[in-house]
């Protein structure tokens, strides 16, 4: 009985350690996206995405683009963005993960939903959807 309990504890600790490690790696990946965007640094932002990652959103109807191509076209070197970023949630199941991010500007907040996969041992964003929430001007 003691051996079974000891084995169970070792396995439980191993699983928790693996989840903590994966959580840190997912955080690292989404922080490439957040830091790259805040600092107008496309090369850092690009590290977060798989080369075929999609970005889907509503703007004058449904839009779907390659995420890297989209950011490469719009990002220009310049001063740091006036925004606050937050990783609101991360949920991991095996080699799949989901992160909810909040990027707050003075007049609006982007709510980003990132889907990630662990590909060849590395977490990459494979799809992004987002919502632009306008702030009330009271």
Mean pLDDT of 92-105: 98
From the CA atom positions of the chain, what is the Rg in Å? 18
For tokens 């965007």, what's the residue?
37
Assigned CATH topology for domain 2-134: Nuclear Transport Factor 2; Chain: A, (3.10.450)
- The pTM of this model reads 0.83
Q: What is the mean pLDDT of the chain?
A: 90
With bands split at pLDDT 50, 70 and 90, how would you rate the model's confidence at 12? very low
pLDDT (tens digit per residue) in 35-72: 999 999 999 999 999 999 999 999 999 999 999 999 99
- Cβ-Cβ contacts under 8 Å for 14 (sequence gap 6 or more): none
Edge to edge, what strands does the sheet with 108-119 contain? 62-66, 49-58, 122-134, 108-119, 96-104, 84-93
């Amino acid at each position: 009985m003691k051996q079974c309990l000891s084995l169970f504890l070792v396995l439980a600790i191993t699983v928790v350690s693996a989840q903590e490690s994966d959580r840190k790696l997912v955080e690292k990946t989404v922080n490439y996206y957040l830091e790259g965007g805040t600092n107008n640094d496309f090369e850092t932002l690009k590290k977060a995405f798989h080369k075929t990652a999609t970005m889907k959103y509503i703007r004058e109807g449904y839009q779907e683009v390659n995420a890297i191509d989209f950011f490469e076209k719009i990002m220009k070197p310049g001063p740091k963005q006036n925004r606050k970023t937050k990783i609101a949630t991360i949920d991991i199941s095996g080699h799949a993960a989901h992160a909810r991010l909040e990027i707050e500007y003075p007049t609006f907040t982007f709510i980003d939903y990132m889907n990630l996969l662990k590909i060849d041992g590395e977490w990459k964003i494979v799809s992004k959807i987002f919502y632009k929430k306008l702030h009330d001007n009271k």
